Structure 1
């Protein structure tokens, strides 16, 4: 069974993503094995909006050092979702 809440992990809130919200573009962290169709259906079902386009990117985890010890941050997947012109906006901070 398709669970939309397991596809979308969280919204990605940065300066760039906040400025893109005016153009009806929203950025989400999604599961690594999710495809564009699953992401589109999940966003439409959770937020009750119409999605026009989905772009995805695999973000490689960075290697970090603490003295002589080397570690690696996990890799993750980012999805940029563009809504249609007649769609409602998504409100992330409505309860604040």
Structure 2
């Protein structure tokens, strides 16, 4: 199993993800190779909380242009982690 820091890349900071904190749901960018079991174990280890559910989604990179040159942003994977009632992650409260 991978180290927790290799699975979780960083939290997703957006208006929608901050609104989900009220429902006890937290969003993270995760490794594209990580599965739900590894994500659950990483969140429980890093934040000392109990995870109830994990939803994952692939975010396909967008095509970007710089003049006549065309490139693409990388594909990413996002996980929305639902915690059991009574648990919360302190770092998200100030966002």
RMSD between superposed Cα atoms in Å: 1.6
For 2:47 and 2:75, the matched residues in 1 are separated by 26
Deviations 1:7-40 (A, max 9, x none): 0000011000001101100000000000000000
Deviations 1:48-88 (A, max 9, x none): 0000000000110000112211010001100000001122x
The alignment covers a number of residue pairs equal to: 94
Q: 1:74 is paired with a residue of what secondary structure?
A: coil
Q: TM-score, normalised by structure 2?
A: 0.92
The runs of at least 4 consecutive aligned structure 1 residues that moved more than 6 Å come to none
Partner of 2:72: 72
For 2:85 and 2:45, the matched residues in 1 are separated by 18
Q: TM-score, normalised by structure 1?
A: 0.91
Q: Does the alignment pair 1:27 with 2:30? A: no
